[in-house]
A and B are shown apart, each in its own frame.
Chain A
Amino acid sequence: MDANKLVNMANQIAAFFSAEPDRKDAVAGVAGHLRKFWDPRMRREILAHFDAGGDGMESLVRDALEHYRDDLAPAG
């Protein structure tokens, strides 16, 4: 899928959770949202984009992908 679009969507999610006073909560919020609502191919592709440098990603998204990679990477 269009990586730009996925990045935009993830950044939007981060914009909501960035209001959390505790950054740990914000990172967990972003990761939890991706896990709950994104189909595996979308998660796979955003992780791939992250690994390729993660152009355009907000830092909250990067942290979420990094810290919660095991949860987010689809099985198989």
Chain B
Amino acid sequence: MYSNKVLDHGTPASKSPKQVTLQVDGKPVTVPAGTSVMRAAVDAGVKVPKLCATDTLDAFGSCRLCVVEIEGRRGYPASCTTPCEDGMSVTTQSDKLADLRRGVMELYISDHPLDCLTCTANGNCELQDMAGAVGLREVRYGYEGDNHLDAEKDRSNPYFTFDPSKCIVCSRCVRACDEVQGTFALTVEGRGFESQIAAGPTNFLDSECVSCGACVQACPTATLMENSLEEQGQPDHAVTTTCAYCGVGCSFRAEMKGNEVVRMVPHKDGKANHGHSCVKGRFAWGYATHPDRVTSPMIREKITDPWREVSWEEAFAHTAKEVKRIQAKYGRGSAGGITSSRCTNEETFLVQKLVRAAFGNNNVDTCARVCHSPTGYGLKQTLGESAGTQDFDSVEHTDCVIVIGANPTDGHPVFASRMKQRLRAQKRGEDGAGLIVIDPRQIDLVRTPHIEADYHLQLRPGTNVAVMNSLAHVVVTEGLASDDYIAERCDPAEFEKWKAFISEERNSPEVLESETGVPADQIRGAARLFAKAPNGAIYYGLGVTEHSQGSTTVMTIANLAMVTGNIGRPGVGVNPLRGQNNVQGSCDMGSFPHELPGYRHVSDGSVRTLFQDKWGVEIDPEPGLRIPNMFDAALDGSFKALYVQGEDIAQSDPDTQHVLAALSSLELLIVQDIFMNETAKYAHVILPGSSFLEKDGTFTNAERRISRVRKVMPPLAGLADWEVTVKLSEALGYPMNYEHPSEIMAEIAALTPTFTGVTYEKIDELGSIQWPCNDKAPEGTPYMHSEEFVRGKGRFFVTNYVATPERTTRKFPLILTTGRILSQYNVGAQTRRTDNQVWHDEDVLELHPHDAELRGIEDGDMVAMTSRQGNTTMRAVITERMQPGVVYTTFHHPESGANVVTTDNSDWATNCPEYKVTAVQVSKVVKDKSDWQQGFDRIEQEQDSLLPSRRAQQPGTTN
């Protein structure tokens, strides 16, 4: 359950604009119409006893503990299910009410163990509190009768325990799973005394449960409890911070005991998550204190030398000397840096500042290059700003959702739960939203409890542009375009040009059918559904961007949104779902080699002047190298030194062998990370990083929402990441004077027009802020382009479909596409070091039964996968989710080497790699490991033996 320090209003807030006034125990209180009597009482300072109600769930009215008297009404209504009316007079305490409540409590307690003193929930238990509140003094029924006191505990979930002996069958857990999470994993079995809670036929782990924790928060007793609470006891204080995993950016209360985290509980007032979470943020934070953490700086001359632990001072001095030597020898442009989408805005800002000011060039890029750089390009071109247009709450007002190239239930689970609430409303007969899924694979959202997509356009990988063009073709040629909107808001000449193009027969669904594999009538149906919906919203992910036509697809999305008039109000918009927690922020902070913070090109003299004045250095007017260009330049010998903060490029970038060759040719590779990652194997300097629990700063989520990250424990190695950059810069002869990250934010605000109004004080005051935040929008901007587009007139772009150069042949007849799963995160460095491994401990290859049969592959067989680039082996999973001819894997585990097979094709505009389309062959193997994997094992062992901690473990020494 939530900490009892968090106020529970009993029922959710009403959104009605109408107000009503009533009296509670003689105190007047005014609330929105539709508010429950229970909630109004809390507003009046009166807590009515309750058990089955909590403010994250709709009232249910089963326990009858919350009874009250209402003047002029007979009986004793439940205050949680009774809506307030104007002029009502409510009494919450009387002898009769006290009697009734004691009776209820007596029944509950007679079937409840009385081991309060040794119970995990002691001191934070609603049942205990209620027994106190109603003044329960005796239990007349005795404990001898039938009871559930011996029921066995379910410990299958690694993070929480289900102890049915303590269950009062209030069904809060069941309702949380249904209403909040939308998984429907729990049921109440049996009736009356026999009734009990069940998770699937056996236990939690084998059920549909996705371990989001919603039921654990909702449970008023010790029945569902975090194991960490059992081990560590009740926390003594709490700090509000932000999840460091995905782009949803959930707000959490880190509940602490001294410097130790006891549990992470989603924050009810968090505007991105409204009290919900997923298994990663809620439970998988143990990596932060994992023994594998790097705790000391290390250096070595060559990558075959053993590591030497050194002081911070020596590490900085050595690194600075090396950078200077290399730049003197190979030129100013021979050094560069990579910022991290996992680090804070402030840290990212400093790394790009270090590159531009201390290295003196623009060779700075970010891992967003390999995921969302096409979003930045495509949206800037069409709409004028490189960001999503909406907040998450917007989905509540949507009438039709398109999800393209995104798998929200796995990648953005908390937002997916919100979206599912909206989609289920339709099935309940309310005016919910229609759903169109565009994906080569049958993602969960296509068919999930109480939701079924109206259309699943199961296209061939690499044909996004063709499908999007054909949708727009139908809208335009069937007269479904929003002509008034376009006339008012969009550039007319560009629109006419686009209209002529898109109306051409070659963009019709009938012509493109053979290319995309999607039946034309489905395209027509989907286009009509979307165009006719009053509010249509498009959500997309890496399945859009990570293609050779990634930027073009982003433009087709903007085109479709504009032609249907769906930008500039709640319920609509173009919504990129960002992968890592701070992808949006790292892009905003000027991590691209051609742009200064705020997406302003380095060739713009007036912008450069602004920065030059503040920073006191000349800024190079030429764009720098992007990550793939850095690799190419490293191989041709013109790029020699690289500073990588919080990124594992050796694992996350495509065409691994090319990347490793490039890294091996560097003379100085500086890796700043919390673990010895794959890239560290090729490094010369290791600077220990700090986890999100160890520093102050801000993250910006997919809704442009800036939220605070707060330090709850000291950095393990002594310095937070931003401090490391400051000291490195100082050693390079360019001092940066910051005492606290708030001062860095002040500099960002002073230099960036969309951040002018952002301060730490304001974030504290408002909870979070969505940029732009400036004089025009002092409290931030929930949805953009409201009166006009940021670029003035919206611009349609002609978006020709160009097939990817990656083609299937007889030798490589299958298409491999890649994705993510819920329990693991990106390259898995964090989640692999947690119990999330129980859900996914290896990457597997999904393929269609037909393709499997052709190759004699059975479920669970080891198979070899070969592309033009390389080969690897993994276990096969046979599933109808795939279409014939397409196979799928994830890349959370380094040894599976999914990126050994991916190609070096990339997006035409941004060089974002094409992870999503690789021609491969798959065959059954006897040998467990490919040549590449054997090589991987060898390097792993060699590098491992070079670590000081390993050498200290030689026989005869203790460690």
Contacts and interface: CB of A to CB of B under 8 A. Distances in A.
A1 B633 contact: yes
Given A16-B800, A19-B501, A9 B911 contact: yes
Given A20-B798, A21-B497, A41-B638, A1 B632 contact: yes
Given A12-B908, A41-B638, A36 B800 contact: no
A52 B362 CA distance: 29
A33 interface: yes
Contact of A15 (B363, B625, B626, B908): B908
Contacts of A28: none
Given A5-B632, A19-B501, A39 B909 contact: no
Contacts of B799: 19
A42 B601 CA distance: 18
Contact of B632 (A2, A13, A40): A2
B610 interface: no
Q: Considering residues A9, A13, A36, A37, which has the most beta carbons from chain B within 10 angstroms of its beta carbon?
A: A37
A16 B798 CA distance: 9
Interface string B793-813: 000001110100100000000
A74 interface: yes
Interface of A is mostly: helix
Q: How large is the interface on A (under 10, 10 to 19, 20 to 34, 35 or more residues)?
A: 20 to 34
Contacts of A19: 501, 798-800
Contacts of B802: 12, 15-16
Contacts, number: 68
Given A19-B800, A36-B594, A41 B501 contact: no
Contacts of B603: 36
Nearest to B639: A41
B633 A9 contact: no
A20 B800 CA distance: 9
A12 B501 CA distance: 20
Contact of A13 (B624, B626, B909): B909
Nearest to B603: A36
A20 B626 CA distance: 27
Given A39-B623, A42-B629, A13 B638 contact: no
B446 to A, nearest CB: 31
Interface in B256-307: none
Contacts of B360: none
A40 B636 CA distance: 15
Interface string B775-808: 0000000000000000000000011101001000
A41 B361 CA distance: 13
Interface in B354-373: 362-363
Contacts of B626: 37, 39
Contacts of B798: 19-21
B692 to A, nearest CB: 32
A37 B594 contact: yes
A26 B601 CA distance: 21
A5 B632 CA distance: 9
B345 interface: no
Given A5-B632, A18-B800, A37 B497 contact: no
Given A19-B501, A20-B798, A38 B623 contact: yes
9 contacts: A9-B906, A21-B497, A21-B500, A21-B798, A37-B594, A37-B623, A39-B593, A39-B626, A39-B629
Interface of B: 333, 362-363, 497, 500-501, 548, 551-552, 593-594, 601, 603, 622-626, 629, 632-633, 635-636, 638, 798-800, 802, 805, 904, 906, 908-911
Interface of A: 1-2, 5, 8-9, 12-13, 15-16, 18-21, 33, 36-42, 74
Top 7 closest pairs, chain A to chain B, by CB: A12-B908, A19-B800, A19-B798, A1-B632, A15-B802, A39-B625, A40-B622
